[in-house]
Structure 1
Amino acid sequence: MKKKQFIPLASGIYINYAILGMATIIISQYSSNFQKMWNTNLAGISTVISMIGIGRLITVLFAGDLSDRIGRKPTMIVGMVATIIFLIGLALSTSMIMAAIFALFLGVTNSFDDASSYPALTDAFESRAASMNSLVKAAMSLAQFVLPFIVAVAPDAKITLILMAIIIAVDIILIASSTFAAQTTKPAATKQKIAAAATKQTNNRPKMAIDGMALIILGFTISFTFYVYSQYLPNFGSTVLGLSAGTAKGLISWYAISSLCSVFITSVLVTKIRPMYLVTIYSAISLLFLILLVSAPSLLMIRITSIVIGFFAAGGIWQLGLTVLTQYFPLKKGKVTGYYSFATALTYFVGPFVSSFIINDTAVSVLRVFQIDVGVTLIGVAIILVVLLRNLKYHFI
């Protein structure tokens, strides 16, 4: 089947993820607007954001199995319908409780979209799966770059939410009418070849209790670094630095455009440098600039740090960590990917939930949230160093 037949499918997926990228940060971008609509404060906003993580935690472990059983298309459409419920729900919410309930649906979206979209692209573009999948992240980053400008033009959150819901509704029609490739399954003979290759590769095998667990926890720390940073970046700008609302919200554009560039640059670097080394370097650089930011906050420093975090923490390092994990356990790719994704889903709840007990309208409270981000990133650096040293000693890969 000609690849051109799958172009509408790919286009629909990228449009879907562009809206998802906006939806991920829209609560923080319209924070002051939502505080008035829902009669709450910054702590309440954090609680609503944390519910996204709960929705993802509830669904992440069975969404993949459902995608394999009922097919990519219906699974994807379920995720897109959940997006519409989230967007319209936020627009109609009059309290924090209502908003928190609707926020659960964006977590459902994350699980169902990831479980269907990435496999659908891989099935349709087998020879170019990596590059086609990397464009998903590019679509999200580009949309997040644009969102602050949309917020400046349309300060009423309801208008933006409704327009996004309309785009998703049209996109559902595009996806529903698109051709999907047949789902691929790996035959037993191929599994035997993988097992033979793994055995031949080295007599030393990574231990799930040590190396596997470390890399799964790394999935949490990597996600925590960029997710907490992106969610509370506008608060840092307005509260700690005293920037205007427009300038503070615009800081996310530095982060997003850097993340977009990283997607393409990292995809080239990974062909020349081993993923494990890139994860180590990227994590260390992110940690350094987070420390510099909380030690000496300034407009210049936060712009530089936003570029650094966008590039080194949000532009592809998560995928690199997953690559190392699946290289370590080639016969358990599905299982370890599920664990890794679950750890990431935990971030979407733990980060905002913990922050809700700390953050308020004071600069000190916002700085404490970023200090926690530094601490978690430091743990991530320590973990990848342990994994790296064990690999150098035992030559796992």
Structure 2
Amino acid sequence: MKKGESYVGAAASVYLNYAVVGAATIFISQYREVLAQSWHATATAISLVMAMVGLGRIITILFAGAISDKIGRKKTLLIALGCDAIFLIGASFANNVWVAGIAAMFFGATNSFGDTAGYPALADAFPDKTATMNSFVKASMQIMQMIFPFCVKLIHDPRITACILVLLLFIDAVITMKAAFAPQLEEAKVDEQEKNTEDKVEGVSQPKLAVDGLMLITLGFTMCFTFYIFSLYAPYYGQYVLNESAANANQLVSWYSIASLISVFVTSVLVTKIKRLTLIIVYSLISALGLLFMVLSPSLIAGEVGSLLIGFFAAGGIWQVGLSVLTSYFPQGHGKITSYYSFAPAVVYFVAPLVAAFVLKANSISTLAVFWITAIITIISVALTLILIIRSRKFKVEN
């Protein structure tokens, strides 16, 4: 489309940001041994540092959407890029867990401002292709996460890697400043009286934020929990459960990322042909089966198959499909609605590593316990989506 073509620069800036975010998300887990020595930290302390990402996101996410709607997507994206640079430099050069923890909080802010700028920017520029464009966000992240473990094998010093990533952020900042962003969509004016009349006709003719919105936000939490925990702790599964070397264990993330990258393109096609909630429940069910295979029958085959299944069905853009359902249910104020949905991952980023910190030890039993927790959370995703599908039959909104 001609309209879409004029915003290619804006889309490029968003996707480059998420590419670096993809690397930054697994930066600590990939360099866990080197950073543990630099920070004088145990495995538990490293998980606590990871939890600080979530705390930083929780602190910023609820007002990041309002800021994005107020000052615009471009300026908000620049804030995200700056916060990411602070995280990478701070974490890689830190000499104790306190400095590392503070740096990690800035990465939480990166996620908050990046999500509330990036997704709405794509929605504003490509209103007819929002689900597809959102899926490509995952493509940019997964391409980087697929490559990153190999980069870690080649570059043993996290400081060098951090400086390279910061250079990419600087390039992205230049692209962002020069790119044309689409005008923000005006907040829809809803006539409350007309809405109440509709509700009386069919009982529930439109989705309700307090019910359907809350369930979708909770679904955002459970889906994010699945792929985030897996991306962080798959190397632990390889190292402690399968007794692989740290370098080989890291490769499970590459299998996960390859499958996720393939899924992005498959999902972007399927989302135009299959109802979105149907797609979510199928993907969540297969993800749960993959995790159960890993914990019930631990082996290298189970690790690789599980990595492929979680990568394809949990991390291949299905979270973004959930966001597109939410924004279609409640089209007013994309920035604010996105911040609500992104609050769920904010909690994940804090709670998941925190839970793992108290469960995870350098042995197979505790590592499997983390994956059992993840499997249970994924099953909850299936149950939530089933309820949403049943309720969606009453709505006039496409799901």
**Alignment TM-score > 0.5, same fold:** yes
Paired residue for 2:47? 46
Letter in 1 for 2:35: F
Aligned to 1:12: 13
Q: How many angstroms does 1:382 deviate by?
A: 2.2
Within the alignment, does 1:323 sit opposite 2:344 as a pair? no
Give the Cα separation in 1 of the matches to 2:46 and 2:35.
Answer: 8
Supply the AA of the counterpart residue of 2:244. L
1:322 positional shift: 2.8
Whole-Å Cα distance in 2 between the matches of residues 13 and 172 of structure 1? 10
Partner of 1:96: 97
- Quote the residue 1:293 is aligned against: 294
The equivalent residue for 1:379 is 380
Does the CA-based 8 Å contact 1:202-1:395 persist in structure 2?
no
Distance 2:275 2:141 in 1: 26
Determine the C-alpha separation between the residues in 2 that align with 1:226 and 1:202. 41
TM-score by length of 1: 0.91
Whole-angstrom distance in 2 between the partners of 1:226 and 1:78: 26
Structure 1 regions of 5+ residues with no counterpart?
none
Partner letter of residue 142 of structure 2? Answer: S
Cα distance in 2 for partners of 1:214, 1:240 equals 34
The alpha-carbon distance between structure 1 residues 47 and 274, as it changes in their structure 2 partners (threshold 3 A), is same
Q: List gaps (5 residues or longer) in structure 2.
A: none
Shift of 1:379: 2.0
Query: Across the two proteins, how many residue pairs are aligned to each other?
Result: 393
Show CA shifts across 1:121-141 (max 9, x none): 333344544433332221111
Is residue 161 from structure 1 mapped to residue 184 from structure 2 by the alignment?
Answer: no
Residue 334 of structure 1 and its aligned partner are, at CA, apart by 6.0
In the TM superposition, what are the counterparts of 1:268-283 in structure 2 within 5 Å? 268-283=269-284
Q: CA deviation at 1:388?
A: 2.9
Change (3 A) 1:280 1:246: same
1:32 equivalent in alignment to 2:52: no
- Give distance in 1, aligned partners of 2:14 and 2:330: 29
Quick one: which amino acid aligns to residue 184 of structure 2? Q
| Post-superposition offset of 1:111 | 0.9
Tell me which residue corresponds to 1:70: 71
- Amino acid of the residue matched to residue 144 of structure 1? Q
- Are the counterparts in 1 of residues 124 and 183 from structure 2 also a CA contact under 8 Å? yes
1: distance between equivalents of 2:31 and 2:106? 18
Of 96-105 and 264-273, deviating more is 264-273
Contact 2:81 2:110 in 1 (8 A): yes
Aligned-residue offset at 1:14? 1.8
| SS of residue matched to 1:342 | helix
Who is 2:147 aligned against?
Answer: 146
Does the CA-based 8 Å contact 2:65-2:338 persist in structure 1? no
Using the TM superposition, give the Cα deviation of residue 57 of structure 1 relative to its aligned residue in structure 2, in angstroms.
0.7
Which residue does 2:203 correspond to in 1? 204
> In 2, Cα distance between the equivalents of 1:202 and 1:341?
33
**CA 1:122 to 1:357, structure 2 compared with 1: closer, same or farther past 3 Å?**
same
Aligned to 1:111: 112
Matches of 1:274 and 1:214, distance apart in 2: 17
CA distance in 1, matches of 2:388, 2:182: 37
Q: 1:319 to 1:179 in 2, by over 3 A?
A: closer
Amino acid at match of 2:278: Y
- The answer (yes or no) to whether the contact 2:130–2:324 under 8 Å persists in 1 is no
Whole-angstrom CA distance in 2 between matches of 1:201 and 1:13: 42
State the distance in 2 between where 1:117 and 1:216 align: 18
User: In the TM superposition, what whole-angstrom CA distance separates every residue of 1:240-282 from its partner, at most 9, and x where no partner exists?
Assistant: 1011222111111111111111111112112222111111111
Q: Tell me by how many angstroms 1:351 deviates.
A: 0.3
1:4 shift after superposition: 4.9
Q: Which residue of 2 aligns with 1:232?
A: 233
Shift in Å at residue 155 of structure 1?
A: 1.4
- Give, in angstroms, the shift of residue 390 of structure 1: 4.0
Deviation at 1:210, TM superposition (A): 4.1
Displacement after TM superposition at 1:231 (Å): 0.5
Following TM superposition, by how much is the alpha carbon of 1:9 offset from its aligned partner in structure 2, in angstroms? 2.9
Closer/same/farther in 2, CA of residues 389 and 38 from structure 1, 3 Å limit? same
- TM-score for the superposition, normalised by structure 2: 0.91
Correspondence for 1:131: 132
Give the Cα separation in 1 of the matches to 2:4 and 2:327. 28
Amino acid across the alignment from 1:296 = S
Q: Write the distance in 2 (CA, Å) between the matches of 1:295 and 1:175.
A: 47
Distance of 2:24 and 2:30 partners within structure 1: 10
Question: CA–CA distance in 2 between the matches of 1:4 and 1:52?
Answer: 35
Aligned partners of 1:54 and 1:148: how far apart in 2? 26
Aligned identity (percent) is: 45
